[in-house]
Amino acid sequence: MLKIKDLHASVEGKEILKGINLEVNPGEVHAIMGPNGSGKSTLAEVIAGKEEFDVTKGSIELNGEDLEDTAPEERAHKGIFLSFQYPVEIPGVSVTNFMKTAINESRKARGMEDMPANEMLKMIREKSELLDIDRKFLSRSLNEGFSGGEKKRNEIFQMAMMEPKLAILDETDSGLDIDALRIVANGVNKLRSGDRATIVITHYQRLLEYIVPDFVHVLHDGKIVKSGGKELALELEEKGYDWLKHEAAV
């Protein structure tokens, strides 16, 4: 589904990603771990098409299609979803209205009619129940005054609504207490399916106890320095990242 080949990306002339290779197939969950500043969030944002970054070399393919020069909204239409580490507050636009706009714009791009109102409401009800979201919450302004946990839960709610092919969760566990973490992880797990792939970006192993990955990759200084199964996460938890840095240097 996702094929990243020798990806180099820089911002304002500074190279952050220095040759990433990654292949993600339908149904798989990949975890990307690494110390701060290793390029984890950059990788997520480059996949989602943030224009601030220049892809200087290499390619990203989604289902065989090169995503070069594809705008973030077009990538969303093709099924990429990024759950933000720091979701943005949009005063005056309710969660519900925001979702209606997002879904109908995506449908429009696929040549479909707007989703009928009753269908939309039904979907909103189902997905909000999935994440244990209060109905009142949906009429609040998007992310405005939300707690850290509410913001993250809202991101996963949006993901559930958008039904992406490839979901990228950027530090979804940061700022969550254990209860919120469980609800969010539970939501993500319920959305796991054979045709949907997930990339979980995290600094800590904690989230991976709840969202169990098929593969773990360690990112260091813009490169994947080690890949393995879920047991790699535990190893990292035990030993920290330093031993990998040495390994990478050798």
Q: Which stretches of the chain bind other proteins, using CB under 8 A?
A: 45, 48-52, 71-73, 75-77, 80-82, 84, 86-88, 90-93, 97-98, 100-106, 109, 158, 162
Q: What is the dihedral of CA 133, 205, 2, 17, to 10 degrees?
A: 120
Report residue 206 as tokens.
């904690």
Nearer to other proteins, 81 or 241 (CB): 81
CB of 175 to other proteins, least distance (A): 17
Nearer to other proteins, 84 or 215 (CB): 84
Nearer to other proteins, 132 or 144 (CB): 144
CB of 88 to other proteins, least distance (A): 4
CB of 48 to other proteins, least distance (A): 5
CB of 56 to other proteins, least distance (A): 20
For residues 138 and 124, what is the distance between their CA atoms, to the nearest angstrom? 9
Which string of DSSP letters, residue by residue, matches 135-154? HHHHTSEETTT--HHHHHHH
219 contacts 38 by C-beta, under 8 angstroms: yes
Q: How many CB atoms sit inside 10 A of residue 110's CB?
A: 9
CB of 157 to other proteins, least distance (A): 12
Task: Dihedral sign for Cα 58, 64, 70, 76, please.
Answer: negative
Nearer to other proteins, 109 or 240 (CB): 109
Nearer to other proteins, 90 or 212 (CB): 90
Outline where DSSP puts E strands in 120-244.
141-142, 166-170, 197-202, 215-220, 223-228
